[in-house]
């Protein structure tokens, strides 16, 4: 009977069944490889919400206090930009306001990392080829990667929904789904990116850029308009992260924005599947073209090589900063909108110089956001040294007449000077955007430029600490990402969450004046520069003395 | 004769693993020196120390009269290195990598570069991973042979090359030798070693176990003897240096240490020889004997005694 039944299955269906052969084994392999990374991500994302409830409860005990908080926070453009609108003053809604925006972004980042790790990276390293030679179907790799990311996001959803259930099950479920579905949507987009390019680095860059654009659009839309009083700015609705926010957990949940995210996830996964079925293992839709037969004048040595290897990422970051700077700048003129229609209040504030002050406060917050997020670039730029080493490209390079310091310098020049360029173009875009909106380019441009460039000493501290790790504790170089996470968490959430001063002080960025607007003194800059120089020197000494490849 | 590489009592540990355990190595200037040993014997570790990539725990290392750790950069102007597994940058073409390496060494002979590209049939416009394993090796080989250097360090350089290209490689090494350059060749391809190297060093478990010319090494190993005799063979197993004696009726097969051959022949002629076949050790046998680990070796010796 079975044989007869089998024979009736259409060739197409049988084909797709074979396409998935080996998925189970690949899934177990993926889970085994991610046995540390995935639980860490899932627990961090899943437990943040429930642990926040307790802290909020003790900080804002009465409904009046919470209502005040909501009023203050919705009234401030920069906190709206960072956290989104606060839709209600219940404990549950406040928790969502406080952690929701970050959970969706980090779920997206976790998902794109997991998907690319098990798709394009497997192909680029040639491991997929060896696996595909076994009883593994054409689409098994992609399916296993998506199942892995599905398990991760499913676990996050359940942990969030379970952890917040005490505040009401519906809202808990809405937040859990908003986070988990956002993860799946960006995981799906990463799966598409994995089909488009042969280069894992580029695929990671493209999918991270998608998260970045979605985040900036959401920030800009929320900054421009207080969503708790209306249906949200149009920019918010251009961003999947905005859809997650406007599902409004604990504030008359709306389910259809979640459906939008699910549709995006489904559509991107479908697209990835159809692309994956049409291409060769290891290949992509943009095949690599032949290069020059001889090296050009730029590639005269390791510095030319370093530039070749890192210019793509640098240009990507510069483009991202121009985009973000222009958007933040052009909306910041409206930062005093919340004062509403009361002419009286507006007059009082303006008399106090507050209108200027409010825009400056918003600009300063955005400058801090840009400065801290740029640590991602500078850290990955330094870590390129380590990956060149572990990928065994440093070894033959260093067997030439290249000193270790020179080799390190070829990447470090980008790690240290790249941010100068990126912050400069970001500052110019910010200043132009704001200057044009406020009709005062001549004054605002240099102020914005100075403000973004003021981030450099703090940024360099992170750069140098990463270099210290690479030089002295190379096996633990990846710990630099923990540093990035910490600096971003303190910089973005610390002020609104009222982190204690000693905690805030652990981030080098907390020591910078809030520019534009704040008073500038030389001392913090000098201390940060000194720390940066000392750490860099330690790292370079370590790099000179240690074994390569160790 | 000048010494190009001189290593004595070299130790290097990684955590608990003792990778090099008092290694000695001498390579004379102008020779092609074979560097042999089973997987994990410490060949690549030795080469990394020679290149100044790893720091020796103890022992003396001199390359072209310099210290590879302290004088790495000066030294590397005169050295070309080809790893066994060449990894390229994905967005750089092979031609770019060849030129880059040339510029980072003592310079590149452009005429020779063109000639080598031709001989190795290598397309320099392809990029990174689009090269096959063999072609990636060729990129590094062309860069090394076209460089103006004194010393070539080749770590299993022909892995992935087809037999035709292997032949080109041998020609190139011979040309390098004729131009007076020194080559340290780590290889598992014994015919390659036999064709190119005058002297070899064999290492095992981080120590040198044998060094000398191939003729000298041959002498240290066993000859296999097959004979048909007129009478009953007697007392062969009792002779010193005789192994694996197999007697079937009047047919004898045995292995004998080459320097103990005389006594065996005397014993055989006593019984009357009808036919005799004596085969010198092949390179494979020579290396197998050195590659075997201690346990089987001492066991084998205990049994034959």
Q: For A403-466, what is the HEC assignment?
A: CHHHHHHHHHHHHHHHHHHHHHHHHHHHHHHHHHHHCCHHHHHHHHHHHHHCCHHHHHHHHHHH
**Is B131 at the interface with chain A, CB within 8 A?**
no
Which positions in chain B touch A404 (Cβ < 8 Å)? 72
What angle separates helix B94-104 from helix B133-145, to the nearest 10 degrees? 30
**Is A300 at the interface with chain B, CB within 8 A?**
yes
Q: Which residue of B has its CA nearest to A306?
A: B89
Of residues B214 and A346, more confidence is placed in B214
Q: What is the mean pLDDT of chain A?
A: 88
Question: What span, in angstroms and rounded, lies between the C-alpha atoms of A84 and A221?
Answer: 9
**Is B136 at the interface with chain A, CB within 8 A?**
no
Shortest distance between the Cα of B125 and any Cα of chain A, in A, equals 5
Question: What span, in angstroms and rounded, lies between the C-alpha atoms of A20 and A30?
Answer: 15
Q: pLDDT tens-digit profile of B39-57?
A: 889 999 999 999 999 999 9
The answer to whether residues A418 and A451 touch, using CB atoms and an 8 Å cutoff, is no
Supply the pLDDT for residue A10. Answer: 43
Indicate whether A242 pLDDT > 60: yes
What share of chain B has pLDDT > 90, as a percent? 52
**Is A57 at the interface with chain B, CB within 8 A?**
no
A-interface mutation test, from B11, B73, B133, B140, most A Cβ less than 10 A away? B73
**pLDDT, mean of residues A181-202:** 94
Indicate whether B287 pLDDT > 80: no
**pLDDT, mean of residues A519-530:** 94
Q: Inter-chain contact A396–B55, Cβ cutoff 8 Å?
A: no
List the single residue in B86, B96, B104 with the smallest CB-CB distance to A292.
B96
What share of chain A has pLDDT > 70, as a percent? 91
Indicate whether B245 pLDDT > 90: no
**Is A309 at the interface with chain B, CB within 8 A?**
yes
Give the confidence band of A343 by pLDDT, cuts at 50, 70, 90. low
Q: Inter-chain contact A396–B90, Cβ cutoff 8 Å?
A: no
Supply the pLDDT for residue A15. Answer: 52
**pLDDT, mean of residues A452-458:** 97
Q: Locate tokens 């330094």: which residue? A: A382
Of residues B180 and A288, more confidence is placed in B180
The answer to whether residues A324 and A370 touch, using CB atoms and an 8 Å cutoff, is yes
Indicate whether B128 pLDDT > 50: yes
Which positions in chain B touch A396 (Cβ < 8 Å)? 81-83, 86, 101, 140
**Is B106 at the interface with chain A, CB within 8 A?**
yes
Indicate whether A131 pLDDT > 50: yes
| The two three-digit tokens of residue A134, written as one number | 């076994």
Supply the pLDDT for residue A334. Answer: 60
How many interchain CB pairs under 8 A, A with B? Answer: 126
**Is B66 at the interface with chain A, CB within 8 A?**
no
**Is A278 at the interface with chain B, CB within 8 A?**
no
Contacts 24+ apart (CB under 8 A), A520-525: A520/A454, A524/A457, A525/A454, A525/A457
Indicate whether A422 pLDDT > 90: yes
Which positions in chain A touch B91 (Cβ < 8 Å)? 199, 288, 291, 308-309, 312
Lowest-confidence segment of A82-96, A342-356, B54-68 by average pLDDT: A342-356
Shortest distance between the Cα of B24 and any Cα of chain A, in A, equals 21
Supply the pLDDT for residue A359. Answer: 79
Question: What span, in angstroms and rounded, lies between the C-alpha atoms of A532 and A221?
Answer: 36
The answer to whether residues A142 and A191 touch, using CB atoms and an 8 Å cutoff, is yes
Indicate whether A340 pLDDT > 80: no
Which positions in chain A touch B157 (Cβ < 8 Å)? none
Q: Inter-chain contact B74–A401, Cβ cutoff 8 Å?
A: yes
**Is A531 at the interface with chain B, CB within 8 A?**
no
Q: Inter-chain contact B73–A550, Cβ cutoff 8 Å?
A: no
Q: Inter-chain contact B104–A198, Cβ cutoff 8 Å?
A: no
Q: Inter-chain contact A401–B76, Cβ cutoff 8 Å?
A: yes
Of A248-257, A498-507, B278-287, where does the model show the most confidence?
A248-257
Supply the pLDDT for residue B220. Answer: 67
Shortest distance between the Cα of A139 and any Cα of chain B, in A, equals 23
Of residues B234 and A347, more confidence is placed in B234
Of residues A4 and A52, more confidence is placed in A52
Q: Which residue of A has its CA nearest to B153?
A: A399
B-interface mutation test, from A125, A130, A291, most B Cβ less than 10 A away? A291
Q: Which residue of A has its CA nearest to B149?
A: A400
Supply the pLDDT for residue A228. Answer: 85
3-state secondary structure A208-236: HHHHHHHHHHHHHHHHHCCHHHCCCCHHH
Shortest distance between the Cα of A307 and any Cα of chain B, in A, equals 12
C-beta neighbour count of A5 within 10 angstroms: 8
What's the whole-model pTM score?
A: 0.84
List the single residue in A292, A401, A403 with the smallest CB-CB distance to B95.
A292
Q: Which residue of A has its CA nearest to B57?
A: A547
Question: What span, in angstroms and rounded, lies between the C-alpha atoms of A314 and A140?
Answer: 35
A-interface mutation test, from B47, B77, B84, B90, most A Cβ less than 10 A away? B90
Give the confidence band of A377 by pLDDT, cuts at 50, 70, 90. very high
Which positions in chain A touch B20 (Cβ < 8 Å)? none
Supply the pLDDT for residue A362. Answer: 84
Supply the pLDDT for residue A354. Answer: 45
List the single residue in B53, B73, B153 with the smallest CB-CB distance to A548.
B53
Beta strands B222-229 and B207-213 are unpaired
List the single residue in A198, A294, A399 with the smallest CB-CB distance to B81.
A399
Q: Inter-chain contact B140–A392, Cβ cutoff 8 Å?
A: no
Nearest partner of A317 among A195, A411, A424, judged by Cα: A424
Shortest distance between the Cα of B90 and any Cα of chain A, in A, equals 8
Return residues 246-305 of B near A (CB < 8 Å).
Answer: none
Q: Inter-chain contact A301–B124, Cβ cutoff 8 Å?
A: no
C-beta neighbour count of A8 within 10 angstroms: 7
Question: What span, in angstroms and rounded, lies between the C-alpha atoms of B45 and B57?
Answer: 12
What is the ipTM score, two decimals? 0.78
| The two three-digit tokens of residue A403, written as one number | 């000193």
Opening angle at CA A211, ends A206 and A215, nearest 5: 140
Q: What is the mean pLDDT of chain B?
A: 88
Q: Inter-chain contact B48–A395, Cβ cutoff 8 Å?
A: yes
Q: Inter-chain contact A402–B130, Cβ cutoff 8 Å?
A: no
Q: Which residue of B has its CA nearest to A123?
A: B129
List the single residue in A288, A399, A546 with the smallest CB-CB distance to B127.
A288
What share of chain A has pLDDT > 90, as a percent? 64
C-beta neighbour count of B7 within 10 angstroms: 23
Supply the pLDDT for residue B302. Answer: 43
Q: Which residue of B has its CA nearest to A310?
A: B91
């Amino acid at each position: 009977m079975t044989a007869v039944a089998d024979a009736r299955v259409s060739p197409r269906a049988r084909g797709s069944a074979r396409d998935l052969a080996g998925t189970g084994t690949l899934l177990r392999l993926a889970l085994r490889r991610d046995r540390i990374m995935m639980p860490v991500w899932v627990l961090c994302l899943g437990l943040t919400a429930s642990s926040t409830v307790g802290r909020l409860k003790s900080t804002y005990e009465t409904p009046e206090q919470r209502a005040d908080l909501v009023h203050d926070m919705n009234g401030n453009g920069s906190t709206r930009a960072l956290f989104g609108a606060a839709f209600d003053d219940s404990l549950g809604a406040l928790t969502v306001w406080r952690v929701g925006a970050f959970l969706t972004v980090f779920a997206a980042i976790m998902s794109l990392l997991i998907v690319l790790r098990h798709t394009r990276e497997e192909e680029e390293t040639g491991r997929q080829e060896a696996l595909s030679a076994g009883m593994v179907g054409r689409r098994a790799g992609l399916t296993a990667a998506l199942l892995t990311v599905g398990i991760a996001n499913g676990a996050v959803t359940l942990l969030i929904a379970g952890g917040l259930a005490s505040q009401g099950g519906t809202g808990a479920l809405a937040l859990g789904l908003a986070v988990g579905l956002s993860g799946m949507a960006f995981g799906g987009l990463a799966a598409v990116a994995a089909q488009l390019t042969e280069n894992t680095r580029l695929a990671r860059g493209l999918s991270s850029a998608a998260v970045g654009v979605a985040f900036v659009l959401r920030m800009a839309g929320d900054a421009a308009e207080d969503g708790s009083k209306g249906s949200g700015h149009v920019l918010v609705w251009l961003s999947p992260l905005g859809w997650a926010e406007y599902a409004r957990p604990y504030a008359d949940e709306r389910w259809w924005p979640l459906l939008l995210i699910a549709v995006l996830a489904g559509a991107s996964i479908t697209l990835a599947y159809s692309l994956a079925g049409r291409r060769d293992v290891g290949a992509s839709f943009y095949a690599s073209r032949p290069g020059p037969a001889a090296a050009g004048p730029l590639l005269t040595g390791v510095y030319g090589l370093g530039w070749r290897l890192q210019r793509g990422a640098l240009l990507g970051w510069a483009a991202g900063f121009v985009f973000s700077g222009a958007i933040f700048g052009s909306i910041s003129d409206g930062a005093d909108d919340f004062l509403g229609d009361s002419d009286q209040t507006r007059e009082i504030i303006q008399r106090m110089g507050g209108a200027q002050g409010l825009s400056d406060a918003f600009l300063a917050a955005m400058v801090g956001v840009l400065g801290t997020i740029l640590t991602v670039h500078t850290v990955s730029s330094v870590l390129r040294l380590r990956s060149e080493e572990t990928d065994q490209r440093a070894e033959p390079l260093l067997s030439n007449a290249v000193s270790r310091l020179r080799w390190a310098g070829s990447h470090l020049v980008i790690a240290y000077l790249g941010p100068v360029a990126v912050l400069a173009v970001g500052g110019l875009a910010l200043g132009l955007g704001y200057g044009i909106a406020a009709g005062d380019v001549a004054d605002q441009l240099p102020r914005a430029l100075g403000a973004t460039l003021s981030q450099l000493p703090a940024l360099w501290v992170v750069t140098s600490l990463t270099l210290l790790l690479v030089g002295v504790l190379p096996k633990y170089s990846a710990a630099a990402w923990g540093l990035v996470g910490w600096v971003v968490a303190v910089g973005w959430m610390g002020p609104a969450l009222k982190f204690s001063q000693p905690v805030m002080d652990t981030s080098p960025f907390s020591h910078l004046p809030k520019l534009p607007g704040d008073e500038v003194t030389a001392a913090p800059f000098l201390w940060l520069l000194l720390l940066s120089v000392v750490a860099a020197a330690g790292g370079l000494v370590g790099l000179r003395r240690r074994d390569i490849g160790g | 004769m000048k010494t190009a590489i001189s290593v004595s009592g070299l130790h290097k540990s990684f955590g608990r693993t003792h990778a090099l355990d008092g290694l000695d190595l001498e390579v004379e200037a102008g020779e092609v020196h074979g560097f042999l040993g089973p997987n994990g014997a410490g060949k690549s570790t030795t080469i990394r120390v020679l290149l100044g990539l790893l720091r020796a725990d103890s022992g003396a290392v001199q390359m072209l009269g310099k210290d590879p750790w302290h004088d790495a950069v000066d030294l590397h102007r005169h050295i070309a290195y080809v790893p066994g597994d060449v990894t390229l940058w994905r967005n750089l073409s092979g031609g770019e990598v060849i030129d880059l390496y040339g510029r980072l060494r003592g310079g590149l002979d452009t005429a020779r570069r063109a000639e080598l590209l031709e001989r190795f049939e290598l397309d320099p416009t392809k990029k990174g991973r689009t090269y096959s394993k063999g072609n990636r090796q060729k990129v590094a080989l062309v860069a090394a042979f076209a460089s103006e250097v004194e010393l070539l360090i080749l770590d299993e350089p022909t892995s992935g090359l087809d037999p035709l290209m292997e032949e080109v490689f041998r020609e190139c090494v011979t040309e390098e030798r004729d131009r007076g350059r020194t080559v340290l060749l780590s290889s598992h391809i014994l015919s390659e070693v036999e064709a190119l190297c005058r002297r070899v060093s064999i290492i095992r478990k981080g120590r040198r176990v044998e060094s000398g010319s191939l003729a000298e090494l041959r002498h240290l190993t066993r000859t296999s003897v097959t004979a048909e005799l007129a009478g009953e063979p007697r007392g062969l197993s009792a002779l010193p240096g005789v192994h694996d004696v197999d007697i079937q009726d009047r047919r004898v097969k045995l292995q004998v240490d080459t320097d103990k051959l005389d006594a065996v022949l005397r014993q055989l002629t006593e019984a009357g020889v009808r036919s005799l076949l004596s085969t010198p050790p092949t390179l494979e046998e020579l290396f197998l004997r050195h590659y075997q680990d201690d346990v089987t070796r001492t066991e084998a010796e205990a049994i034959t005694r």
